[in-house]
């Protein structure tokens, strides 16, 4: 890696140096300001008065973010690795809507996706404990996928049974006009949302509804317990250093090489 690339990588991807921290703080300010402009532009009265100003400011921000995205690709040893990473995709999506608005009016409002880029503030402010928790959550979610899928299958089966039973118990006059409609009621009830647009009136129907509500509270605790167990098993100390080749993070504090691509840290 050339001296220029190394220096750019240190400024853009790292938050240890004063230059890197300043760059990231300015980036966060620009992101929040650009999202604010998009929100204000969606207000009719403001758009009528300041539409041209908003348009000009948005193109300025888009140009800056485009340059930043190109520099990120330039200073990384493996640009495609970064381009298809989570942050790489978010960075790209944060600039595409403005260009698409030239062909498809209204797509510029999709720029609110830039708020996802504020996740970088964890690195900027060196909140290491939050970075660690983010890594723990990701690991726990990956480890919990199969269990949660099984849990969702059970829930879907349950709401189908409850909806079908309620359809047989209640009449069409109360809103249970079909099994799919009754399943919708079961989902709303079990998830404790309770819109109230459909409600049973018979004693037996209300008893079934009460059972569904109680089951709903019990069901809420299940995925929480699954993820909590996996969180306890996923705790591991990680550093905030980004790989100069693939830009991946989450390395051990004493790591000398990237555990994803093998490059020297």
pLDDT tens digits for the chain (265 residues)?
Answer: 578 888 888 888 876 678 878 888 888 888 888 878 877 887 888 888 988 998 899 899 889 989 999 998 998 888 888 888 877 888 888 888 888 877 877 666 666 666 666 666 555 554 444 555 666 677 777 777 888 888 888 889 999 999 999 999 998 888 898 999 999 999 999 988 888 888 899 999 999 999 999 988 888 777 777 766 666 665 554 555 677 777 776 666 677 788 777 887 7
Residue 260 lies inside a defined structural domain of this protein? no
CA-based nearest residue to 137, from 13, 250, 218: 250
pLDDT of residue 187: 93
List, in order, residues 6 or more apart from 204 with CB less than 8 Å away: 169
Do 152 and 195 share a domain, yes or no? yes
Residue 253 lies inside a defined structural domain of this protein? no
* Beta pairing partners, 257: 264
Q: Can you read off the two tokens belonging to residue 8?
A: 């750019």
Residue 144 lies inside a defined structural domain of this protein? yes
Measured from the Cβ of residue 134, the count of other Cβ atoms closer than 10 Å reads 16
Number of domains in the chain: 2
| Measured CA angle at 70 (ends 7, 94), to 5 deg | 120
Residue pair 40/50 in contact by the 8 Å Cβ criterion: yes
Can you give the residue range of the structural domain that contains 45?
Answer: 3-126
Report d(CA 221, CA 215) in Å as an integer: 10
pLDDT of residue 22: 85
Q: Can you read off the two tokens belonging to residue 233?
A: 């098993």
Q: Global pTM? A: 0.53
Do 82 and 182 share a domain, yes or no? no
How would you write the chain as a 3-class SS string? CCHHHHHHHHHHHCCCCHHHHHHHHHHHHHHHHHHHHHHHHCCHHHHHHHHHHHHHHHHHHHHHHHHHHHHHHHHCCCHHHHHCCHHHHHHHHCCHHHHHCCCCCCHHHHHHHHHHHHHHHHHHCCCHHHHHHHHHHHHHHHHHHHHHHHHHHHHHHHHHHHHHHHHHHCCHHHCCCCHHHHHHHHHHHHCCCCCCCCCCCCHHHHHHHHHHHHHHHHHHHHHHHHHHHHHHHHCCCCCCCCCCCCCCCCCCCCCCECCCCCCEC
Do 13 and 100 share a domain, yes or no? yes
Do 61 and 163 share a domain, yes or no? no
Domain of 224, CATH number, reads 1.10.287.70
Residue 73 lies inside a defined structural domain of this protein? yes
Do 8 and 95 share a domain, yes or no? yes
pLDDT of residue 120: 60
Residue 241 lies inside a defined structural domain of this protein? no
Do 162 and 110 share a domain, yes or no? no
Do 155 and 72 share a domain, yes or no? no
| Burial environment of residue 127 by CB neighbours within 10 A (0 to 12, 13 to 18, 19 or more) | middle
Residue 54 lies inside a defined structural domain of this protein? yes
> Which residue among 104, 126, 148 closes a domain?
126
Do 113 and 7 share a domain, yes or no? yes
The CB-side HSE value for 32 (13 A sphere, CA atoms) comes to 10
pLDDT of residue 235: 55
Q: Can you read off the two tokens belonging to residue 217?
A: 């509270």
Do 117 and 143 share a domain, yes or no? no
pLDDT of residue 261: 79
Do 59 and 152 share a domain, yes or no? no
Domain of 32, CATH number, reads 1.20.120.350
pLDDT of residue 220: 79
Do 105 and 24 share a domain, yes or no? yes
Residue 99 lies inside a defined structural domain of this protein? yes
Do 155 and 228 share a domain, yes or no? yes
Residue 155 lies inside a defined structural domain of this protein? yes
């Amino acid at each position: 890696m050339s001296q220029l690339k190394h220096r750019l990588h240190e400024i853009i991807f790292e938050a240890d140096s004063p230059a890197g921290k300043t760059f990231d703080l300015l980036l966060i300010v620009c992101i929040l300001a650009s999202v604010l402009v998009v929100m204000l532009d969606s207000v009719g009265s403001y758009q009528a008065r300041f539409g041209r100003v908003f348009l000009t400011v948005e193109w300025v921000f888009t140009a800056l973010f485009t340059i930043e995205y190109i520099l990120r690709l330039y200073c990384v040893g493996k640009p495609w690795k970064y381009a298809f990473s989570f942050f790489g995709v978010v960075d790209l999506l944060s600039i595409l809507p403005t260009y698409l608005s030239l062909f498809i009016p209204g797509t510029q409002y999709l720029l609110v996706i830039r708020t996802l880029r504020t996740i970088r503030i964890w690195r900027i402010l060196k909140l290491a404990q939050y970075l660690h928790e983010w890594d723990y959550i990701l690991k726990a979610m990956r480890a919990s996928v199969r269990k949660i899928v099984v849990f969702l299958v059970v829930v879907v089966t349950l709401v189908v049974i409850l909806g079908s039973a309620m359809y047989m118990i209640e009449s069409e006059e109360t809103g249970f006009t079909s099994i799919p409609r009754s399943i919708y009621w079961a989902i709303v009830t079990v998830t404790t949302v309770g819109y109230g647009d459909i409600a049973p009136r018979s004693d037996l129907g209300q008893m079934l509804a009460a059972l569904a509500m109680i089951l709903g509270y019990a069901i809420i605790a299940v995925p929480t317990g699954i993820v909590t167990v996996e969180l306890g098993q996923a705790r591991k100390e990680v550093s905030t250093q980004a790989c100069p080749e693939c830009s991946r993070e989450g390395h051990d504090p004493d790591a000398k090489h990237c555990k994803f691509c093998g490059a020297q840290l």
